[in-house]
Amino acid sequence: MNNSANHDALVQEIRALKEAKNALILAHYYQVPEIQDIADFVGDSLALSKKAAETEADLIVFSGVHFMAETAKILNPTKKVVLPDLDAGCSLAESCPPSEFKAFREAHPDHLVVSYINCSAEVKTLSDIICTSSNAEKIIDSIPKDQPVIFAPDVNMGKYLNKKSGREMKLWDGACIVHEAFDLEKILNLKEEHPEAKIIAHPESEPHILKVANFIGSTAALLRFAEEDASSSFIVATEHGILHEMRKRLPHKTLIPAPALEDNTCACSECAFMKVNTLEKLRNCLRDEKPEIHLSDTIITEALKPLERMFEMS
């Protein structure tokens, strides 16, 4: 069989398995195009967690990274949640080890802890409210101004939120390797070549990148902005996978991936964690119902509380 026949056979097999097992395939916008194309739903972190919360499926196949699949499990403790590759981690989640975060929290007992959803289930148990890049501003703004807040684990998003809200939240010093890697000089050179292009950036990017952005938002907000804005050209500073959905929705617009530091090959930023998932691994985990996400009852109960507060507040 040639490659295209192999691909078609794999797609058929995945469709049949999905049907037979009443499974739901959720995929983040940063997944490889062939996974996005076969998923039942593609979205940003907030939309995916909402879908996971309301599904009637028996099996949830989460094609994203580990903390996302964990979130789906916390929201569906009686369901089986599988991830195509358990090595799909996240530098941001890993930059916040639970024991160190617990000590940080205990050192500031009067602070409310707001954690970005890109953290482990254990860190969620140490948090009062979870947020995503889609609802962070709204959630932070709804907390009384005199209430001290810890924001974790993304320092770049924390700085952005401090600026927007006028607060001085205490920030955990974590970051995303992908969004930290954008090269300002190369972005400005691109802007000179395409003066009509608007720079749009994810708030996980560093302050000097956000400073030159015309629009800042979650992956879903970046998509919406590119759709609704009158400009015909955009320099997109977030993970490269988003370009797949953007190009589908906006075939008539020019969409340019923002270049990363030391990136002289494809001029794009890819999350190596997101990209460990492949169509073959997706088929395998659907067929074998593993690797499965397991969490203790205590972690599920405690991590659910800040997630429920997020849903109430957003």
Q: Applying CB under 6 A, which residues contact ligand 13P?
A: 44-45, 118, 132-134, 176, 204, 218-219
Q: From the list ligand 13P, ligand SF4, none, pick the one residue 133 interacts with, judged by a Cβ distance below 5 to 8 Å according to partner type.
A: ligand 13P
Query: Is-contact 181 264, C-beta < 8 A?
Result: no
- What's the closest the beta carbon of residue 49 comes to ligand 13P, in angstroms? 10
CA angle 287, 292, 293 (to 5 degrees): 150
Burial of 62 (0-12, 13-18, 19+ CB in 10 A): buried
Q: From the list ligand SF4, ligand 13P, none, pick the one residue 156 interacts with, judged by a Cβ distance below 5 to 8 Å according to partner type.
A: none
Q: From the list ligand 13P, ligand SF4, none, pick the one residue 119 interacts with, judged by a Cβ distance below 5 to 8 Å according to partner type.
A: none
Q: From the list ligand SF4, ligand 13P, none, pick the one residue 45 interacts with, judged by a Cβ distance below 5 to 8 Å according to partner type.
A: ligand 13P
Query: Is-contact 199 191, C-beta < 8 A?
Result: yes
- What's the closest the beta carbon of residue 245 comes to ligand 13P, in angstroms? 12
Number of residues that bind ligand SF4 (CB under 6 A): 13
Query: Is-contact 60 18, C-beta < 8 A?
Result: no
Burial of 42 (0-12, 13-18, 19+ CB in 10 A): buried
Q: From the list ligand 13P, ligand SF4, none, pick the one residue 250 interacts with, judged by a Cβ distance below 5 to 8 Å according to partner type.
A: none
Closest to ligand 13P by CB, 117 or 150:
117
Closest to ligand SF4 by CB, 182 or 273:
273
Closest to ligand 13P by CB, 76 or 133:
133
Residue nearest to ligand 13P (CB): 44
Q: State yes or no: residue 268 binds ligand SF4 (CB under 6 A).
A: no
Query: Which parts of 108-259 fold into alpha helices (H)?
Result: 121-125, 136-141, 155-165, 184-193, 207-212, 219-228, 242-249
Residue from 31, 95, 118, 120 in contact with ligand SF4 (CB under 6 A): 118
Question: What's the gap between Cα 69 and its chain centre?
Answer: 11
Query: Is-contact 289 82, C-beta < 8 A?
Result: yes
Closest to ligand SF4 by CB, 18 or 273:
273
- What's the closest the beta carbon of residue 118 comes to ligand 13P, in angstroms? 5
d(CA 85, CA 193): 40
- What's the closest the beta carbon of residue 218 comes to ligand SF4, in angstroms? 11
Q: State yes or no: residue 72 binds ligand SF4 (CB under 6 A).
A: no
DSSP 158-178: HHHHHHHHT---EE--B--TT
Query: Is-contact 194 233, C-beta < 8 A?
Result: yes
Burial of 98 (0-12, 13-18, 19+ CB in 10 A): middle
Closest to ligand SF4 by CB, 8 or 87:
87
What binding mask, one character per residue, do residues 13-42 give for ligand SF4 by CB under 6 A, x or -?
A: -----------------x------------
Q: Which residues pair with 53 in a beta bridge?
A: none
Residue 61 has which token pair? 């196949």
Q: State yes or no: residue 90 binds ligand SF4 (CB under 6 A).
A: yes
Q: State yes or no: residue 177 binds ligand SF4 (CB under 6 A).
A: yes
**3-state secondary structure at position 257:** strand
Q: Give contact residues for ligand SF4 (rule: CB under 6 A).
A: 30, 65, 90-92, 118, 176-178, 239, 271, 273-274
